[in-house]
Amino acid sequence: MTEEFALPEELIDPEELIDELEDTEPEYEVATFLPTGGTRIYLPIGRDEDGNLLEPTIMQAVLDADLSIPASTQFWVDGVQVNPNTTILTPGMVVVGLGNIKGGRS
């Protein structure tokens, strides 16, 4: 004998959940850092109190990730060498670091 299982009517409508999720912004976005011979490191890009994305430079972000960056390290984005001290990190960006980079959190 099988019993039917009925859900209570007061449950949240799935459509309301989808609408609520679409209206919320993530707390942060990420960029990806690929050091020479190392593991992929995700660099978070936070938001200010108004919800706007912060604009860290590549160097700020990799140092915040506890990486040791020698002065001779080269940084590349989309096949172009960039200055990590002036290039702003953007969501989805992939940065390649060529050099003897140590440390970090993945």
The reported pLDDT for the residue numbered 37 is 79
User: Does 22 or 42 have the greater pLDDT score?
Assistant: 42
Q: Is the pTM of this model over 0.75?
A: no
In the chain, which ranges are continuous DSSP H helix?
Answer: 14-23, 58-64
pLDDT band at 27 (very low <50, low <70, confident <90, very high): confident
The reported pLDDT for the residue numbered 103 is 78
- What are φ and ψ of residue 25, in 5° steps? -95, 145
User: Does 48 or 87 have the greater pLDDT score?
Assistant: 87
The reported pLDDT for the residue numbered 39 is 86
C-alpha distances out from residue 34 to 46, 47, 94, 98, Å:
20, 23, 7, 9
- Whole-angstrom distance, CA of residue 41 vs CA of residue 31: 9
User: Does 20 or 26 have the greater pLDDT score?
Assistant: 26
The reported pLDDT for the residue numbered 30 is 93
Architecture label for domain 27-103:
Roll (3.10)
pLDDT band at 2 (very low <50, low <70, confident <90, very high): low
